Amino acid sequence: MTRVHRVHRVHRVSGSSVIAKGRLRVSASGTAAAGQVEHMLRQVTPGRYDAYEALLRALAADQLWMLLWHGQAGSPDAQYGNMEVEGLGYAPCVTSAQELSASGWNRSYEVVSGIDISRTLYPDHYGLWLNPHAPGGGVGIPWLDLRRIASGLDLLPAGPLRLTEPSIEIPQFYALLTQNAHRTPAVRSLRRTWVQPALGAPYLAIGLDVYDTSPASVDGVRTMMQQSIAAVPDGLPVSTVAMSDAYDPVAMWLRANARPFYDREAQPAPVASSGYGYPPPYGAAPRSR
């Protein structure tokens, strides 16, 4: 069983910031409702995924004071500081003007909305580190969770995700999906995994590897899934993920760990009477801008 790593625990931070790559975006929004973020920060402890999720929601509606290692707010050469914790990169920030004063930061800063900074940082695999000067070292928000803030927290599953090979037996669905995939020229291969979010119900995820993403191909893949989903038992949630998504943790796990159960280039056309399963071994099984 594999757990997609997400650092959200309280750490003591050591070391100084260094210059980070990437331009900055400044929010023109008004005053911050920083009290809610700071209230939720006090609730976050290891294993309290509900409190951590509430913190993400507060960040999505709030703004942050980003610490500038170089340049002034709004200048083309402005750069955030960065720090590394457990091999992951973070940009340090504080959650209010009061925390900025308490931090002793004597360089420039700028105020950015939580959504804007999430959109800026996650493509480069940088997270946020909130109040690193605070007792206990502050709280880290990894880039995977910034991606959720940027995309919509209700649209992506709450991590850390537990990803495994599905154990549920649904041969009719896999057989029908395999047949329909073979009739859909855009589909190269299909993978699968069982996803257990930190919050919410588990579900079956189907990884879609396609030759192209033209409107006709997208429509064909959508029709394939609609025709196949009727074979899924009632109450079993099924989702899809694009294997080409360099930032999706489910797609990353599938690329690294799952052999295709349908591979157009490695197996003959399926027949209706066959069951499902992995093709015979045919070779080795089986990013930031």
Q: Is 89 left (phi over 0), alpha (psi -120 to 50) or beta?
A: beta
The enclosing H or E element of 181 equals helix 171-182
Please check the confidence at residue 3 and state whether its pLDDT lies above 80: no
Q: How many CB atoms lie within 10 A of CB 28?
A: 7
Q: What is the mean pLDDT of residues 197-207?
A: 96
Tokens 């804007």 locate to: 116
Please check the confidence at residue 6 and state whether its pLDDT lies above 90: no
Q: Spell 179-207 as b/e; 16+ CB within 10 A means b.
A: bbbbebebbbbbbbbbbbbbeeebebbbb
Quick one: DSSP state of residue 2? Answer: E
How high is the pLDDT of residue 16? 31
- pTM score over 0.75: yes
Question: Per mean pLDDT, which range of 34-38, 107-111, 154-158, 246-250 is the poorest?
Answer: 34-38
pLDDT in tens, 73-121: 888 888 999 999 999 999 999 999 999 999 999 999 999 999 999 999 9
Do 25 and 120 contact (CB within 8 A), yes or no? yes
Q: Using only C-alpha atoms, what is the Rg of the chain? A: 22
How high is the pLDDT of residue 220? 97
- Angle between helix axes 49-60 and 114-121 (nearest 10 degrees) is 100
- Which amino acid makes up residue 220? G
pLDDT in tens, 24-67: 333 333 344 457 899 999 999 988 999 999 999 999 999 999 99
> How high is the mean pLDDT of the chain?
84
How high is the pLDDT of residue 269? 57
